[in-house]
Copies of this chain bind each other. A is one copy, B any other.
């Protein structure tokens, strides 16, 4: 019974995964609102009703798609952070992880930025609890690194870390948005360098500069 349950569960997950992929494809093609459940089902090669066995409604379906990316995104970023001990470099590698993942999934992020169904684009938006948690966790790690960097004098001390983080997010997200929607020809590494240059300027060890 237990084994069967597990097997069932595994099958269920595989199916759900396939459906998410199909739904993402359809939504990327048409946009969230204009992708009808019928089209999504056609893309998945199953009946409309079937989706409702796996997801409560269209919105939750989209949230699941987001969650699926969110999980990998934050895992990647966290993994990046752990490849070094230097606080500021931690932050940079985390950011780079983000950027790299987004780069590899441009169409989805275009969809995400463009068509969030709840129309709440802020980072604090009401995402699915799972993603929210993932974001929260990553956020904590980043804050810790920023605090350490402050201690080491790598970043300015006159502003709270929360604000520095907010600034980083702002720069990151919006510049990435530019890169996503414009036909940016710059390579990933060039982009990263530019973004990081700007961020460093903003959060950099100002006090020391000012002193000098």
Contacts and interface: CB of A to CB of B under 8 A. Distances in A.
Interface of A: 31, 33, 113-115, 119-124, 156, 159, 163, 166-167, 169-171, 173-175, 177-178, 181-182, 194, 197-199, 201-204, 206, 209, 212
A114 to B, nearest CB: 5
Interface of A is mostly: helix
Contacts of A31: 119
State the copy count for this chain. Answer: 4
Contact of A167 (B33, B124, B171, B209): B171
Most buried by B among A120, A169, A178: A178
A181 B170 CA distance: 13
Given A119-B114, A122-B178, A174-B170, A198 B194 contact: no
A167 B198 contact: yes
